[in-house]
């Protein structure tokens, strides 16, 4: 029974940390605020996470797993049709970046807050961004693009630009809402070349 209670406390800590890290920034949220909102003793946090850095990594790992689960659901509907899969992915990201309450890419936000690449969270961020690039290369390659890496990198930059511009110029009225249109034009130009 005691182990189960500790796990639930650790889960509450991670849920509160994830919500607050995303909405307020990781450095701005202290351990004291997290345990207070999670209604657990500080020892409960340290039983599951040896340090705040471990909590940050767990937060990023959860965001990464959730992200790819959602992407797999979005593109899974068009199995066998890479162009439709790519369109579905980009439409999803365009919609996501223009939603009210969207606070930006958590991986980009982390990298901005923690520029020192020795932080263990950077491994999760690199893995997430590398996986997106790998998947883009695979999709455009399956579509018959002559230079799949070049097209994938251009699409990657469009996506990253949507993440960023949604925070600086707004998602609903800013350039992020044009992500799908820009991507489709880029894809068409590469495929017709």
What CATH number has the domain bearing residue 167? 1.10.357.10
Number of structural domains (the chain) is 2
Same domain as 129, residue 148: yes
Q: How far is CA 107 from CA 9, 10, 22, in A?
A: 25, 22, 10
Same domain as 40, residue 69: no
Q: 71-90, pLDDT tens digit by residue?
A: 999 999 999 999 999 999 99
Query: Is pLDDT at 3 greater than 60 in this prediction?
Result: no
Quote the radius of gyration of the chain (alpha carbons, Å). 19
| Distance in angstroms (rounded) separating the CA atoms of residues 103 and 126 | 20
Res 112: pLDDT:
95
Residue 193 pLDDT level (bands cut at 50, 70, 90): low
| Distance in angstroms (rounded) separating the CA atoms of residues 33 and 17 | 9
What CATH number has the domain bearing residue 9? 1.10.10.60
Query: Is pLDDT at 105 greater than 70 in this prediction?
Result: yes
Query: How many percent of the chain have pLDDT more than 70?
Result: 95
Quote the domain boundaries for residue 23: 1-49
Same domain as 57, residue 34: no
The last residue of one of the domains, among 30, 49, 68, is 49
| Distance in angstroms (rounded) separating the CA atoms of residues 33 and 15 | 13
Residue 33 pLDDT level (bands cut at 50, 70, 90): very high
Q: 173-192, pLDDT tens digit by residue?
A: 888 889 999 999 999 998 88
The last residue of one of the domains, among 10, 28, 49, is 49
User: Could you tell me which of 177, 179, 174 has the C-alpha nearest to residue 156?
Assistant: 179
């Amino acid at each position: 029974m005691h182990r189960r209670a500790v796990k639930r406390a650790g889960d509450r800590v991670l849920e509160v940390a994830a919500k607050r890290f995303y909405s307020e920034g990781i450095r701005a949220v202290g351990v004291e605020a997290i345990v207070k909102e999670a209604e657990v003793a500080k020892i409960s946090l340290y039983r599951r996470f040896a340090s705040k850095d471990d909590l940050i990594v767990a937060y990023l790992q959860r965001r990464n797993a959730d992200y790819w689960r959602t992407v797999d659901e979005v593109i899974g509907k068009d199995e066998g049709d890479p162009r439709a899969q790519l369109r579905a992915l980009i439409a999803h990201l365009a919609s996501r970046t223009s939603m009210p309450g969207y606070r930006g890419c958590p991986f980009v936000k982390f990298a901005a807050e923690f520029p020192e690449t020795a932080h263990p969270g950077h491994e999760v961020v690199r893995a997430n961004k590398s996986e997106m690039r790998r998947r883009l290369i695979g999709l455009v390659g399956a579509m018959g693009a002559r230079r799949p890496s070049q097209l994938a990198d251009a699409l990657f930059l469009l996506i990253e630009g949507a993440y960023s511009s949604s925070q600086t110029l707004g998602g609903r009225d800013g350039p992020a809402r044009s992500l799908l249109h820009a991507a489709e034009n880029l894809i068409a130009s590469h495929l017709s070349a």
